[in-house]
Amino acid sequence: MSRAPGRRAPRDLAALRKTVARLSLPGKAGAASGLVLERARKLLDIYLATAEAHGQSFEATAKALRAGVPALRIGGADLEAQATRPGSPVDSAACAAGCAFCCILNGEDGGVILEAEARGVHRALLPLAGAPDGRDWHPRACPALDPATRLCRIYAARPMICRTYLSTDAEACARIAEGVPAAGPGVLGAQGLYLAVQALARAALKGVTQVPTYSLAKVAAAALDGRSETEALTASRQAPRVLEDERARLGGAL
């Protein structure tokens, strides 16, 4: 794999931390996204310093970064903090069981998720292979939905893209699901932080290993078709640009 000019691929945790400290990411960053990136950099360095202090190998750390383990831990902690903060957008959410309009995946990427999430989605859905799925309710719905109840059948394993999405207006979600712009829905800031951590991990590991993202819709569909995990991941792997496109799209996090 090619390396950026003038930079050697890191081969130990000390070098990896130095790489993360001086990385710049592609794209034109505004003030808000720049702050998110610097926070992601700081939190990722804390993760790496902890791994180093506990004697975790470079190989094990690189594997965790590829899978998105640090991004999920950092983003998950931030989500919990934001959701429980007084005055949180969660307090005014109109979300309710069975609404499910947010589960209609209109984007061509099918929902951006990381490797650990993709494996979890596949593992949770594979036992349901052959059963009716969300597409029996709506052709663009997430296959993980139960078409009768419109409830998520893998709620405990749902990825960050699902955990961070909320709306103050359920009717707005219904309009957006049909391609009509409307105010009300959005994502919590933890989603942007999680994606920034993974973007840093990808850039830092250039020349060491690839750090892919996956389509939620395609992983779920492959599992329900009874395909193996390897087949599902291969079929759902996204183009490298999708991660940066998603980061750019999330300029208006709640």
Three-state secondary-structure class, residue 208: coil
What DSSP line would sit under 50-80, residue for residue? HHHHTT--HHHHHHHHHHTHHHHHHHHHHHH
Q: What is the pLDDT along the chain (254 residues), one digit of tens a residue?
A: 444 455 789 999 999 999 999 998 876 555 567 899 999 999 999 999 999 999 999 999 999 999 999 999 999 999 999 989 998 888 888 888 888 999 998 888 899 999 999 999 999 999 999 999 999 999 999 999 999 999 999 999 999 999 999 998 888 888 888 888 888 888 899 999 999 999 999 999 999 999 999 999 999 999 999 999 999 999 999 999 999 999 988 764 55
Could you tell me the pTM of the whole model?
A: 0.92
Residue 13's closest CA among 63, 64, 56? 56
pLDDT at 32: 63
pLDDT at 28: 57
Q: What is the distance of C-alpha 150 from the center of its chain?
A: 22
Answer whether 43's CB lies under 8 Å from 51's CB. Answer: no
Phi-psi sector, 12: left (phi>0), alpha (psi -120 to 50), beta: beta
127 exposed, middle or buried (CB, 10 Å; 0-12, 13-18, 19+)?
exposed
102: its two tokens: 């947010």
| Strand ranges in 15-174 using DSSP code E only, listed in sequence order | 112-113, 165-167
Q: Which residues of 13-39 are buried (b: 16+ CB within 10 A; e: fewer)?
A: beebbebbeebebeeebeeebeebbeb
pLDDT at 251: 61
pLDDT at 122: 98
186: its two tokens: 């959005």
Distance CA 224, CA 135 (A): 11
